[in-house]
Structure 1
Amino acid sequence: MADSQGLGTITNDDTTTNAPLTLTGDANNNILVGGSANDTLIGLGGKDTLTGGLGADKFRFNSSFDGMDTITDFSRTQGDKIELFGTGFNSLVWTDGVSNTLASTVFSMGASANSWTNSIIYNNSSGIVYFDPDALGSGSQIALAQLSPGLNLTNQDFIVSW
C-alpha cells in the first residue's frame, strides 16, 4: 500500500517458514524487504529500494524503463544475482542454455561500454549498473540499479531469462 509520497513497503517475516518468496512492487516507489530464504524481488516501476536479506536472492528487472532501483545488500558471497528478464533485454545473450549466465562479452566494468558488444556495465566506483542497448552507438545508457561501490561484479553476477 502506498503512502502520500507513493512509497509502499512490503516486508517478509519468514522466521517460521524459511520459504523463498517473490516480492513484487508496482508503479510507485516501493520498499521490498526479503527474509532469510532465497527470495526474488521485483520492483517494477518507480525508484524502489530492494533488500534481499540472507540467502541467494534474485533482483529482477523486467524492463530498462522501470526506474533505477537501489539494492541495499547485494552479496556475491551469498550468491545474489541480478536477473534481466523479458523482452526489454532480448538483445542480451547467455553463456549456455542451462545457467543463463550473462555472456562475458556483453559485460564491462567502467563508466560506459568499451566495445560494440557491451550492454551491461557496472561502474565499480559509483556502484551503478547500466543497460546500454546499443553499446558504443549514439543511444544513451540507462541506469538500472544502485549497488554498493567496489563490489567488483562480473558477468557471473547476472542471469538473463524470458
Structure 2
Amino acid sequence: MKKKRLIIRTVILAVLLCAVGYTLYAQFFADKQKVSVGDKAPDFILRDVNGETHQLSDYKGKGVFLNFWGTWCKPCKQEMPAMEKQYASYKKQGVEILAVNVAETNIAVEQFAKQYELSFPILMDKDSQVLGAYGIDPLPTTFLIDKNGKIVDSFIGGLEESKIKEYMEEIKP
C-alpha cells in the first residue's frame, strides 16, 4: 500500500513539475506575438462604444495607429492624452487611431473616454479574439499599419508623445 501511494505521489509531482516548467517557458521564452513587421495586418470587425462597426480593411489608404489597451493599465492612462493630441492633427493627414479595448464593459470604457476626452474610435474586443489574432501580451501594445495594410512597426508598452508623433509621421500616407 505504501509503495502504491509513493508511486501516485511521484507521478503527481512529476506532472506538476512539467506544468510549472511549461508555464515558465511559455512566459519567458516563447514568442507570443503572432504578427510581425512586414506582415499584412490581420483584418477584424469590431464595434465601437457607440455601437458602430469598424473593419480594419476599410481604412486601406490611410495609416492606422492600432493600440490595444485597458482602463486599468497605468501606461495606457499616460499615453491616451498624447494620442488624442496627435490624433487632432494627424487625422487630417490620413492617419487614424483605432484604440482596441480588451474585455471590459462599455460603461468602464465610456467613463474612461469621457474622462480623457477621447475622440478617436474606441473599439470593444469583448472576447479578446483580436487580441489573440495579434498575439498580444502585455498591454499596451501598438501596431503601425501603412496605407497598404502592412505592419511597419510595433511597440510594447506606453508611448511618450514625441514617439507617438514620430510613429504617426512614419505611417502618414
> TM-score, length-normalised on structure 1?
0.27
Looking at CA atoms only, which structure, 1 or 2, has the larger radius of gyration?
A: 2
